[in-house]
Structure 1
Amino acid sequence: QVKGLPEQLLAGRFQYLLDWLFHYVMIDDSKMTPLERNHYAAAYNDAESIRASNAWYQTFSQDIQDAQTYSPLEMPVLGIGSYISYQYMKMGLPHVARNLEMVGILDSGHYLFEEQPEQVLDAVFSFLN
């Protein structure tokens, strides 16, 4: 991540990046309506929002160091993964959560709520009950 560059390149044009992401990381990008696409773009389109969203990625090195000092979570934890993330989460989450329930929504890409909202809600309600 080059600080300042994403804001310069994407401010006012974030929709182009989102359209690419929706197309390539969703199984069925038609499940993302034009209204939803516009909401995503509005949320990320200004320079400060782009800076804030990219700052998360810029902390990965520090996050890895910090995580080595944390104790595993003892409370119940629900991990919900898509076809993209399920295997990664299944390998990684047991190291940070002792009481883990994993759910795979494998007919969804990155945007689980948009592609399979019923399955996500079923997993959450089942976990909470």
Structure 2
Amino acid sequence: MTADIQHHFADLSEVTLHYLTAGEGDPVVLLHGVPQSSHEWQRIIPLLADRYSIVAPDLRGLGDSSRPATGYDKRTVAADIWELVHGKLGLERFFLVGHDWGGPVAFALAAQHPEAVRGLAILDVAIPGDGAEMSQGGRRWHHPFFRTLDLPEALCAGREHMVIDWLFDNYGRRPNVIPPEDRAEYHRTYSRLGGFRALLAYYRAFPQDARDNAEIVARNGKLKMPVLALGGDSSFGRGMETYESLSRLAEDVTGGLIPDCGHWVAEEAPDFIADQLRTFFAKIAAK
């Protein structure tokens, strides 16, 4: 199955976002993770585009979007996405999907604009501020390392591809789940000036993200829209942590495990993910 994927740029208040579009039908917004870009959805988009209108942006600082010095807390990144999909593209209501750091961005967007999000899907990530410890007590060692000031930049300058490849080799169910041509695309964007700085900024904003999320849940209560929460069952997949995290933050949560899958869910299990999303969206549309 193929899809006619179009590339666009939108000049927003604080940032220029590169984004992909494809398909026709009810809108679906796909938010990627780190160290990836909208390119991670290339296997998912053709499986959805026959029924849905897809918008897949590169988040602030990542992919081919511009790289401002600040604004990497997820509430601000979510505001970028809202300005794009609502302000520029005129979407009033849409389905929203986030993987890895795209998940907390999606959560922040859904919490700020619950009237616009018909259904929220979170893939293999926990949400900062949910009451648990997102870094798994140090098992995800790169979290505190990336939050350390100055040292990652000094150690990784000119070696960004080594860091990215280590994550790809070790956090999937098998070392080869991200093929060379896809790695080359991620190397291209994260090796550009400011790319690795922006990657680190997503992690360094974690304390602010946790405060922001705890505050909005305390003020507004749990999310009311349907939520699908899925975690990879192998290697560094989150397992049931994703479901458990969202259950603390939303009232209507379904989901569970992605079989035979680590963290890189869009590449490792595209058919399973697409099937789960289509079923989830269809149930919401039928109500």
The letter for the 2-side match of 1:100 is V
Indicate the SS of the match to 1:101: strand
TM value normalised by structure 1: 0.88
Contact preservation (8 Å) 1:79, 1:101: yes
Matching of residue 102 in structure 1 with residue 255 in structure 2: yes
Kindly indicate whether the alpha-carbon contact (under 8 Å) linking 1:80 and 1:103 is maintained by their aligned counterparts in 2: yes
Q: Which residue of 1 aligns with 2:281?
A: 128
Report the alpha carbon displacement of residue 10 of structure 1 after superposing the two structures with TM: 2.5
Task: Give the aligned partner of residue 48 of structure 1.
Answer: 194
* Structure 2 alignment gaps of length 5 or more: 1-146, 283-287
Cα distance in 2 for partners of 1:105, 1:14 equals 29
The structural deviation recorded for 1:19 is: 1.7
Quote the residue 1:114 is aligned against.
267
SS in 1 for 2:261: coil
Partner of residue 33, structure 1 = 179
Runs of 4+ in 1 over 3 A off after TM superposition: none
**d(CA) in 2 for partners of 1:31 and 1:61?**
31
RMSD of aligned C-alpha atoms? 1.7
Partners of 2:181 and 2:223 lie apart in 1 by: 38
Aligned-residue identity in percent: 31
Matched position secondary structure for 1:8: helix
- Contiguous gaps of at least 5 residues in structure 1: none
Q: CA distance change for structure 1 residues 122 and 103 in 2, over 3 Å: closer, same or farther? A: farther
Separation of aligned partners in 2, 1:38 and 1:115: 17
Higher RCO (C-alpha under 8 Å, 6+ residues apart) = 1
- Aligned: 1:81 with 2:234: no
Greater helix content: 1
User: Are residues 1:20 and 2:166 paired?
Assistant: yes
Q: Is 1:60–2:213 an aligned residue pair?
A: no
Q: CA deviation at 1:124?
A: 0.9
Instruction: Report the number of matched residues.
Output: 129
